[in-house]
Amino acid sequence: MGEKVIEKEVHTQPLEIVAFGNQTREDRRLLKKFVDFHWDHYRNDPQYIPLLDYEYLGFKLLGIHGFFEPDSLFLRHAEMRFFLAYQDGKPVARCNAFVNYNHNKHWKDKVGFFGQFESIDNVEVCRTLLNTAGTWLRERGMEVMRGPQNLPVNEATPGVLTEGFDSRPVIYYHYNKPYYEKLLLESGFQPVKRVRSWEVLVHTPMEEKLDRLAERIIQRYGITIEPWGKRPLEIRKKEMLEVYNSAWSDNFGFVPFEPEEFYQIIDDMQLIMQKDLFIFVYVKGELAAFLGAVPNIAETLKPIPGLRRAELLRALKMLLGKNRTKGLRLGYLGVKKKFRGLGLDGVMLWYQKKYVQQHRKQYTYCDVGWVLEDNIRTIRMVDYMNAVPSKTYTIFEKKII
């Protein structure tokens, strides 16, 4: 059963950590168990809305590329290993560990990551699992272990949920057990950064002061705003990549996207996106920024009663229901470095809110996040929108040398 890395006595019961990859038929069988673990772990937890199993393992019929598949574009610049903890023959915890060589090249550091972390409430189980993953990272020259960082990197919210356990589920904001923070602290990890999100009611009236300010900025800098459909898909892909890699380059944990990897994400996003919810901003004709929101398809992904593992039915329910969701996730926003400080982020939020109020009246709320705790400019802007805090995630790390 895979590679048996370690055996340890925990409360007189043997704990076995099985390590494996994603290449062989046996690996595939263990990856299925790896994915299955969260179904049992959260069986009676109504707040947990699992992603489709296809997101992890792939499903070519729907054109979904799995995070864990051997041909994942991410693995062209990363190395990954999976770990399952068994106690008394039963899975009790899991995680993966990976070295993202693009991250280390960008930051000139030696940070390895763990992700897809789940565990029973047992500190010895957690510590043994993560120590095993840490040993694998250390053997590859890493000096720091950070996480949890789920896949896909740059899309999934990093860290563990530490506030907002009763907030509504939102796509790509994972939910976890409240005791995870305690497990990580007691396993020798320390908080290194927090990210936050808020909920904004879409149909609250726009403040006249904000109207005047946005219109003044538009006139002062010669701003034009275009919807997605104004230009071909291939141009939009290049524009988003150009803005993204400029706008986020200094942010904690940022990893530059490779063009092929980024374009695949945009292609996959076509399944759920509404193109009129993406806008592109130009200053005197030069590309400066973009903003995009997607339907909160977590509303449609709730497991079907009596058919919890009917994944094809859940996928169809997601596709058929994407235009009937009540909420949006504003998860795509960037302003190129050259154009920072002009107020373009505020203009885009103002413009998009007015558009949704007039043309997408089915939406009642919008999630705004994830925002780094020290991004004061964005936090002030969100506060100005009378947003309500919804979730906080905490990223942990520890030295492994």
| Tens digit of each residue's pLDDT (9 = 90 or more) over 289-329 | 999 999 999 999 988 877 767 888 888 898 899 889 999 99
Of 158, 174, 152, 173, the residue nearest 264 (C-alpha)? 152
Query: Does residue 10 register a pLDDT over 50?
Result: no
223-227 and 90-100 as β-strands: parallel, antiparallel, unpaired? unpaired
Cβ-based burial of 278 (10 A; exposed 0-12, middle 13-18, buried ≥19): buried
Cis peptide before 248 (omega within 30 of 0): no
Of 12, 6, 35, the residue nearest 88 (C-alpha)? 12
What mean pLDDT do residues 131-160 have?
A: 93
DSSP classification of residue 105: H
Domains of the chain, earliest start first:
3-196 (3.40.630.30), 200-391 (3.40.630.30)
- pLDDT recorded at residue 2: 63
111-119 and 144-147 as β-strands: parallel, antiparallel, unpaired? parallel
- At 8, is the pLDDT very low, low, confident or very high (cuts 50, 70, 90)? very low
What mean pLDDT do residues 247-254 have?
A: 84
- pLDDT recorded at residue 261: 86
Q: Percentage of residues in the chain with pLDDT exceeding 70? A: 96
For tokens 């992603």, the residue is 51
Cis peptide before 303 (omega within 30 of 0): no
Q: Over the chain, what is the mean pLDDT?
A: 90
Cis peptide before 46 (omega within 30 of 0): no
Give residue-wise pLDDT tens across range 198-240. Answer: 999 998 876 777 888 899 999 999 999 999 999 999 999 999 9
Query: Does residue 62 register a pLDDT over 80?
Result: no
Q: Higher model confidence: residue 44 or residue 219?
A: 219
Name the maximum alpha-carbon separation found in the chain.
Answer: 72
144-147 and 286-295 as β-strands: parallel, antiparallel, unpaired? unpaired
Helix (H/G/I), strand (E/B), else coil: 375: coil
The structure tokens listed for 328 are 């949006």
Helix (H/G/I), strand (E/B), else coil: 116: strand
Calpha distance 49→39 (Å, rounded): 10
The structure tokens listed for 21 are 């990859």
- pTM exceeds 0.85 for this model: yes
Q: Are 300 and 322 in contact (CB under 8 A)?
A: yes
Query: Does residue 7 register a pLDDT over 50?
Result: no
